[in-house]
Structure 1
Amino acid sequence: MTSTARPFGVDPKASFTSPTAWKEIFGPRKSGRRSFDKDLRFHRVPTTKACSIVRADGEDHSRHRRTLPHVFSERALWGQEDILTHYIDLFIQNLRDKAAADGKVDMVNMVKWYNFTTFDIIGD
């Protein structure tokens, strides 16, 4: 796997020999099985005493996970439709304005525009 991944700039630290290995390591934890400890070197130490789901282990992580599903339910997402539609329409209008400016069509950095739109949606 390493020799095939390197041309793409990837240097994997682990490779998996079967789909079962992937599921065992990254899949949902089975009842009674302890989860892997998190390597906290990869996550900043919070400046406050607030507990984040990213750094939480065990029961704290479970508690955080139980509070989140309703936010991503189909009903909740449909409730955000007007906000999403507004920002997507704004995104498209800005691209049209950019393309029509001075009758010239310049290259547009789409990553930048997607980031603007994502930031607007998340910030709303």
Structure 2
Amino acid sequence: MTAPEHVLRDDYRRGADWVAHCRCGFTTVRRDRPSCVAMLYKHTIDAARDTSCPTPHKKGHGTAEEAEAALGRFLRRQRPGARPTRIYLCQCRKWHTTKSPARPDHGVAA
């Protein structure tokens, strides 16, 4: 089994600053140890994100039915503001909800 690439390798004090190293080579320097280690863990979280999706902030649903159910939940909410109106299959192969109208160059909306 290989070791994870993004893991806190070490942290130490250098003068008035704290330094933390990731196993991948990333380094962060901060004035206090908690924020130094927190920045390194933020790096590990960012590195683990799926970058193949152009909208990683949106929830990805495995099937069209799951996305339709999520769309129904949005529409039943009694909250003001824009709500999603349709679902679409993303290039990441997951289904998302959107409030944007279908673009004609992308075929028929689901």
Note whether the superposition's TM-score is higher than 0.5. no
For normalisation by structure 2, the TM-score amounts to 0.26
For normalisation by structure 1, the TM-score amounts to 0.24
Higher relative contact order (CA 8 A, sep 6+): 2
Specify which structure has the higher proportion of strand: 2
